[in-house]
Amino acid sequence: MEVFGLSLVLIALFVGFGLLIGILFGFFGMGGSFLVTPALLVMGYPSRIAVGSGLAFVFGTSVIGALRHREHGQVDYKLAAIMTAAMTIGIEGGKHVVFFLDATGRADLIISVAYVGLLGVVGLFTLRDAWTSDDTADANSQGLAERVQSLRVPPMVTLRGDVRVSATLIFAIGLVVGVLSGFLGVGGGFLLMPAMMYGLGVPAAIAVGTDILQITISGAFGAFVYAQSGAVALPVVGSLLFGSALGARIGASATQLVDEGEIKGYFAMMLLAGSVAVATKELGTAYGIDVLSTVSIALIIGATILVSGAVVLAAVCRLRRDSAGPLCRLTTT
């Protein structure tokens, strides 16, 4: 039996996957779109549909995230405005690149290679961050932010948290992230958050609120430009959103109990697993080894289950004040 062109099994799979991604989004403040687009690519959706649907999913999930955070008031509207303007231009550019590559028949391969590289690099940096002591990490991030703030490229703006930085630099960062967003179908949160916190020195709470607001706007624009070309699979997006809306609540609640740093190592391993999964799929396609497609799907879903499971387990252990049990000991890295 099919509903809107999808089998019930596929709908259930998308809802379940959305639930896991929602937990990650609610907890880490990052959309999980870097898992959705590769997952759709691995499942055989054309790159335009995978990227467009990923952006639409990001938009829907970030609306929910923005609603959850609206009461906190942790938004720098000046920063969000500059980033949104830059990302909007960047997304349009990224979309044109995808459509050009699609016309030449190379989009799937090139986007996959880009994902392998990006997930691998960000994953390795996050893993290094997880293994570095808090003092060393704080010193490193502060040094970079101070160097960026010392670059006096006019016009200069003062952000919340008393951060004075070049608006031109902010625009350039937003442009690069926008191009990646439009090219890969990601919301950009996992790039923008480190850029704002470590690159600009924006306080973490303000970075999260600002990030979610501008992802909502840029995600809407990105999804709109792809939707104009018929490249958004609404039944897929709807099914994913049905699960992520609940998952986001669970993940957000877990932040009250669990420190992100305790399971950052798991998050880094998930990024690396995503990188390996996309590479595995491409190898399978290139050499005609069908089992590698199954392996890559298993890697993505397995990594998502592992990390979202770690978040939920850690929250349950904190609720029960249990840190000694065999399962609870696994929730810190």
Partner 1 sequence: MIGSGTIATVVDAAGLIGTVFIEAIALYVGYGALEQSIGRRMVDRIRSE
Task: Find the binder of partner 1 among 42, 56, 122, 193 (CB under 8 A).
Answer: 56
H or E stretch including 196?
A: none
Minimum CB–partner distance for residue 223 and partner 1 (Å): 6
Compute the least distance from the CB of residue 258 to partner 1, in Å.
Answer: 14
Rounded least distance, CB 179 to partner 1, Å: 14
Question: Of the two residues 226 and 267, which places its CB atom closer to partner 1 in the complex?
Answer: 226
Q: Is 234 in the site for partner 1 (CB under 8 A)?
A: yes
Chain positions 247 to 306 lying near partner 1, rule: CB under 8 A, are: 249
114 counts as binding partner 1 under rule CB under 8 A: no
Q: What angle do CA 58, 40, 126 make, to 5 degrees?
A: 60
- Asked if 223 is part of the footprint of partner 1 (rule: CB under 8 A), the reply reads yes
The answer to whether residue 232 forms part of the interface with partner 1 (CB under 8 A) is yes
d(CA 227, CA 174): 22
Out of 13, 39, 41, 64, the only residue in the binding site for partner 1 (CB under 8 A) is 64
Q: Are 159 and 145 in contact (CB under 8 A)?
A: no
String of DSSP letters for 44-69: T--HHHHHHHHHHHHHHHHHHHHHHH
Between residues 205 and 246, which has the closer beta carbon with respect to partner 1? 246
User: Could you tell me which of 20, 10, 16, 46 has the C-alpha nearest to residue 270?
Assistant: 20
**Given 86, 173, 237, 279, the residue binding partner 1 (CB under 8 A):** 237
Q: Which stretch binds partner 1 (CB under 8 A): 78-86, 104-112, 224-232, 299-307?
A: 224-232
What is the rounded CA–CA span in Å between residue 298 and residue 259? 28
Q: Per rule CB under 8 A, is residue 125 in the interface with partner 1?
A: no
Site for partner 1 in 68-107 (CB under 8 A): 88-89, 92
Helix axes 107-131, 77-104, angle to 10 degrees: 140
Distance CA 36, CA 58 (A): 9
Q: Which runs of consecutive H residues, i.e. helices, occur in the chain?
A: 8-28, 33-42, 47-69, 77-104, 107-131, 134-149, 167-184, 189-194, 204-228, 234-254, 264-287, 291-319
Beta carbon nearer to partner 1, 63 or 110: 63
Number of other CB atoms surrounding residue 254 within 10 Å: 23
Q: How many residues bind partner 1 (CB under 8 A)?
A: 29
- Residue closer to partner 1, measured from CB, 3 or 289: 3
Q: For partner 1, which residue of 319, 323, 327, 329 counts as binding (CB under 8 A)?
A: 319
The whole-angstrom separation of Cα 300 and Cα 274 is: 6
Binding flags for partner 1, 168-207, as an x/- string (CB under 8 A):
----------------------------------------
61 binds partner 1 (CB under 8 A): yes
191 near 177, Cβ under 8 Å? Answer: yes
Of 78, 242, 260, 302, the residue at the interface with partner 1 (CB under 8 A) is 242
Convert 75-93 to b/e letters by CB count within 10 Å (16 or more is b): bbeebbbbbbbbbbbbbee
Chain residues that interact with partner 1, rule: CB under 8 A: 56, 59-61, 63-64, 67, 88-89, 92, 220, 223-225, 227-229, 232, 234, 237-238, 241-242, 245-246, 249, 316, 319-320
